[in-house]
Amino acid sequence: MEIIKNLVSPEKYHIKCPYNMTPEGYCVHNTANDASARNEIAYMISNDLYTSYHYAIDDKEVVQGIAENRNGWHAGDGVGGRGNRRYIGIEICYSLSGGERFTAAEKRAAQFIAEGLRAKGWGIECVKKHQDFDGKYCPHRTLDMGWQRFLDMIRAHLYEPGRLSGTDKSRGADELILYLRGPKKNGRTGTNMWGYEVAIDKNGVVLENPHYSGNTKIPEGGKVLSGHGKAGEWIYKNIKKGYHVWFDTHAHVSGGVHHSVDHFNGIREADELVIYDKGAASNTNMWGWEVAVNAKGHVVKKRYGGKTDIPEGGFVLSGHGKASSWINKHVRVSDCVKILGNIVKIG
């Protein structure tokens, strides 16, 4: 996404951005006015107030006022605050009046943040709201309209499945190829070194993190997923050691962790993983981790304890003992959860 830069002058660094910063996430705000992104940044860099932020985003543009390696004063959590010292401040414009311009600005912000998360290798948990740092009701209109809804907009840009171009054929530009025996049936992919590959064992488990090299040996009874160019980047970002890899009938490829489901509804016994999709809440005692998953398949709540409310059209994933530990380790708020038969898949 194109970024228009109107960076604050170094003479104002002592006011606007005095500290070096290694960012660890995005902090989302609403401007609470009706200025355009250009005007918002032009005003911020010209005045002598301490308030500062990195980007303003409206329905048409992303405008940057501070480099990402310098801090901004936007999170209200003080000189040493995590928000002010570690987070990239994003102002979404036109929140005072709202309407179409604001909706379009939010959409652009979601896309911009998603691109940033991908580029930096960050997860959705790196997106915070101003409210998380000092309790202020900001981003006000985004919160009014639903914070989870905004996170879902970001996620929609993050989780694209891979698209398989073929099996056991030679790999073309930007192609994702699955190798079962190899084009020469010699148990190797026969690819050149310009792509990412991962070996997957006979149970569908990824044996290693993606490596940038070719001609990988295909595991006995397993397979190798190989990508060139954009498909290689997809492997690098979406597949990790220990993941399962799924292939659907539309040649979509996705990866993630999984767990078998013991049953739906009913009583949760020791070490069981149970899905509750009937009634108002899970029918459980307090001894286990549970997550509430909305109708879109995104985790909206994670808690230790029983009787978690079931979101409308969604379900609660509930674990006891070993299954509880698995939920705690692998499932986070905003993760994507899918049920395939009696398998639950995260990622």
Minimum distance from residue 90 beta carbon to Zn ion (Å): 9
Return the number of the residue (73 or 236) whose C-beta is nearest Zn ion: 73
Are the C-beta atoms of residues 32 and 95 closer than 8 Å to each other?
A: yes
Return the number of the residue (137 or 212) whose C-beta is nearest Zn ion: 137
- H-helix segments, the chain: 13-16, 37-46, 82-86, 100-120, 131-134, 140-145, 147-158, 229-238, 322-330
Minimum distance from residue 329 beta carbon to Zn ion (Å): 33
Closest by CA position to 296, among listed 274, 312, 308, 280: 312
250: Cβ contacts below 8 Å, ≥ 6 apart: none
Are the C-beta atoms of residues 239 and 195 closer than 8 Å to each other?
A: no
Minimum distance from residue 43 beta carbon to Zn ion (Å): 15
Return the number of the residue (137 or 304) whose C-beta is nearest Zn ion: 137
Cis peptide upstream of residue 139 (ω within 30 degrees of 0): yes
Are the C-beta atoms of residues 226 and 189 closer than 8 Å to each other?
A: yes
Minimum distance from residue 138 beta carbon to Zn ion (Å): 3
Q: Given CA atoms 89, 92, 97, 103 in this order, what sign does their dihedral have?
A: negative
Return the number of the residue (134 or 168) whose C-beta is nearest Zn ion: 134
Minimum distance from residue 144 beta carbon to Zn ion (Å): 14
Return the number of the residue (128 or 130) whose C-beta is nearest Zn ion: 130
Return the number of the residue (29 or 244) whose C-beta is nearest Zn ion: 29
Phi, psi of 212 (to 5 degrees): -90, 90
Q: Distance between CA 133 and CA 88 in Å, rounded?
A: 13
Tokens of 170: 């030679």
Chain CA centroid to CA 19, Å: 28
Minimum distance from residue 121 beta carbon to Zn ion (Å): 26
- The one-letter amino acid code at 278 reads K
Cross-strand partners of 316: 276, 292
Per-residue burial over 10-46, b if 16 or more Cβ lie within 10 Å, else e, is eebeeebbeeebebebbbbbbbeebbbbbbbbbebbe
Minimum distance from residue 66 beta carbon to Zn ion (Å): 15
Minimum distance from residue 115 beta carbon to Zn ion (Å): 22
Return the number of the residue (51 or 165) whose C-beta is nearest Zn ion: 51
Q: Given CA atoms 318, 321, 322, 325 in this order, what sign does their dihedral have?
A: positive
Minimum distance from residue 176 beta carbon to Zn ion (Å): 40
Return the number of the residue (47 or 186) whose C-beta is nearest Zn ion: 47
Return the number of the residue (16 or 345) whose C-beta is nearest Zn ion: 16
Return the number of the residue (130 or 244) whose C-beta is nearest Zn ion: 130
Which residues of this protein are in contact with Zn ion, per CB under 5 A? Answer: 29, 130, 138
Minimum distance from residue 130 beta carbon to Zn ion (Å): 3
Residue 243 burial (CB < 10 Å; 0-12/13-18/19+)?
buried
The widest CA-to-CA distance across the chain, in whole angstroms, is 69
Tokens of 11: 């003479």
